[in-house]
Amino acid sequence: MSDPLQTLLAVSTRIVKRSLLSAFYFAGLTTFMLMAPDYNSALKGEVLTWFVPLILLGIIIAHVSYEIVMPLNRKLSTPKVLKGFQDVIGEETDTSMINYDFLRSWKHKFLENPTSGRLKDELEKNLALRQQMTYLFATTIAGILVVITIGFLLKIGLNMVSWGLGISDFMLAVSFWGHQNRSYALGRTFGHAYLSWESNST
Say what percent of the chain tops pLDDT 90.
Answer: 43
Residue 170 has pLDDT above 80, yes or no: yes
Predicted pLDDT of residue 5: 66
Do 138 and 73 touch, CB atoms closer than 8 A?
yes
Of the candidates 175, 184, 178, the one whose C-alpha atom is nearest the C-alpha of residue 81 is: 184
The C-alpha atoms of residue 100 and residue 103 are separated, in whole angstroms, by: 5
| pLDDT tens profile 13-24 | 777 788 889 999
Tell me how many domains the chain contains.
1
Task: Report pLDDT for 13.
Answer: 74
Lowest mean pLDDT among 18-22, 179-183, 190-194, 197-201: 197-201
Amino acid 48: pLDDT: 65
**pLDDT one-digit tens code per residue, 30-50:** 888 887 766 565 555 566 677
Instruction: Please indicate, yes or no, if residue 28 is contained in any of the structural domains.
Output: no
Residue 80: inside a domain, yes or no?
yes
Q: CB-based contacts of 130: which residues, under 8 Å, 6+ apart?
A: 77, 179, 182, 183, 186
Q: What is the largest CA-CA distance in the chain?
A: 68
Instruction: At 2, give phi and psi (nearest 5°).
Output: -70, 155
Domain-located, residue 20: no
Indicate whether 196 belongs to any domain.
yes
Residue 122 placed within a domain:
yes
Identify whether 144 is part of a domain.
yes
Give the pLDDT band (50/70/90) at residue 169. very high
List alpha helices for the chain, DSSP H. Answer: 3-35, 40-43, 48-89, 100-112, 117-153, 158-201
pLDDT at 121: 93
What's residue 122's pLDDT? Answer: 93
Average pLDDT, the chain: 85
Q: What would you report as the CA-atom Rg of the chain, rounded to the nearest whole angstrom?
A: 21
Q: How far apart are CA 123 and CA 185, in angstroms?
A: 9
Average pLDDT over residues 189-201: 87
- First CA to last CA distance, the chain: 44
Structural domain contains residue 7: no
The per-residue pLDDT for range 113-137, each reduced to its tens digit, is 888 889 999 999 999 999 999 999 9
- The pLDDT-based confidence of 97 (bands split at 50, 70, 90) is confident
Query: Alpha-carbon distance 126 to 164, whole Å?
Result: 30
CA dist 140 and 146 (Å) reads: 9
Q: Which domain holds residue 88?
A: 61-201
Evaluate whether residue 175 is within a structural domain. yes
Q: What integer is the mean pLDDT of 100-125? A: 89
For residues 116 and 75, what is the distance between their CA atoms, to the nearest angstrom? 29
189 Cβ neighbours under 8 A, 6+ residues apart = 84, 119, 122, 123, 126
**37 upstream amide cis, omega within 30 of 0:** yes
